[in-house]
Amino acid sequence: MSALAKARRALAPLLSHLSTWMTPSELDSLLHAYIQPRLTTFRINTLKVPTCLLNIDSILQPIESALHAVKKRPQPRLNRCAWYRNAYIVSNPAVQVRHLAHVNPHKEGQIHFQSLSSMLTPLCLGAQPGWRVLDMCAAPGGKTAMIAESVGANGRIVANELDPARAKRLQKNIDTLLPPELRECVHVRVGDGRKLTLASAADTANSSSCDPFDAIMVDAPCSGEGIIQLSEPSSYRHWSFEWVKKHARLQQQLLSNAYSLLKPGGVLIYSTCTLSPEENEAVMEWFLDAHQDMEVTDLALPFLSAWSGRDANFRPGLTSYRGTSFRKVFQRALRVFPSVEYEGFFVCRMRRCPQY
C-alpha cells in the first residue's frame, strides 16, 4: 500500500470533515504535507547575538559544518527565510533537530529550533518596548522569548502554563535563551489560563501592580490538524469532530478570560496550529459577538500582506464556511497551509477599543 493510500485510510474521518470546505486539490496537497517530514528551521536569538553580519556568520558556520558532516544527499544547505531575516531553513528534510542539537550555538541559546509558523504569532503581535504581556499558554517558550526580544528590559512578561512538566521545560528554555539581566522580566507561573486573575498575575510578575496587560497572546490548545505527521500516530490518534468541538469550547473560555485581563487599547492575538474553522474563525466570530469593544486589526508584519500574495501557503482567513457567513474583516487574519516548510496555522490580531 502506498504512503498516500495509508494516509487516506488512517485519516479518513479528518479528511471527510475537511472535504466539506477544501477542494480535492487542497486535500491532495494536505496529504502530501502529512506524509513528508518537515524541513528543520531555527531562528537567531538576537537577545544573545547582536544582529551584525559578522556575528551572524560566526553563528552559522558551526551549523553549516554540522550539516556537511551529516552526509545526507542532496547536500543540505541553509536558506534564509524570505519574510523573517533571523530565521533559517535546512534544505534537506532528512536533517532533523537531533543532527544539529550538539552545536554550540544551540547549547548556548544563540539559536533556537522553532517552526516557521510558530514564529508568526509573536511577530504578528507587535509588542513594544516596556509593554506588560501575558503569554497565556506559554510552553515550550520559543514564542515567549521572541516577545522578550520586543519588550526589552523595561517590559514584563507573565508566561503561564497549565502543565507542570511543560512549565519546567518553559523555564529551562527561558534560562537558556534570555541573558541574566532579562530573566527577571519573565515570570513563569503554573496554572489554568481560564482562571488567571490580575491579582494572581501581579503576585508572580510585579506585586506592586494589578494593572491589566498591554498585550495578551493566546496560542491556544487545539486539535492539531496543522501539525499531523503520518509517521507519528500520536499526532492524529485522538482526532474526532467531538475533539474539535471540545477544543473550541476551551478556546472560548481562554479568550473570555484574556479579555478580562486586557486593558482598553490593548492587543490580543489568537493563534492555533489547526485547520478547522470551528476552532478558528468560528471562535473569533463568537468572541467578537460577545465583546463589542474588540476589533480585528492588521497583523503587525508590514511585509506579510505583500508576501502572502507570493506564497500559496499564506492565505487570508475565511469569510464563509458551509453556508455560514463570517465577518469580512477576517480577511485580515492569516491562514498558513501545511507544507514541507510550514505547519498549518491560524493567526488573528485584535485590539480592545480605548473608549466604547
Rounded CA gap, 114 and 116, in Å?
6
Is 52 labelled as part of a ligand binding site?
A: no
Helix (H) or strand (E) holding 306: helix 304-308
The residue assigned the cell 492587543 is: 267
Is 226 labelled as part of a ligand binding site?
A: no
Is 143 labelled as part of a ligand binding site?
A: yes
**CA distances (Å), 141 to each of 31, 49, 291, in order?**
29, 18, 29
Is 126 labelled as part of a ligand binding site?
A: no
Quote the cell numbers at residue 142.
520559543
Is 242 labelled as part of a ligand binding site?
A: no
Catalytic: which of 124, 185, 273, 348?
Answer: 273
Residues 6+ apart with CB under 8 A from 323: none
**CA distances (Å), 134 to each of 15, 130, 279, 339, in order?**
35, 13, 21, 30
Quote the cell numbers at residue 318.
475565511
CA 263 to chain centre: 23
| Residue 273 is among the residues annotated as catalytic for this protein | yes
With beta carbons less than 8 A apart as the criterion, state whether 273 and 227 touch. Answer: yes
Rounded CA gap, 167 and 172, in Å?
9
Is 141 labelled as part of a ligand binding site?
A: yes
Q: Which residues are annotated as a binding site?
A: 137-143, 161, 192, 219
Q: Which residues are annotated as a binding site for S-adenosyl-L-methionine?
A: 137-143, 161, 192, 219
The residues that are catalytic are 273
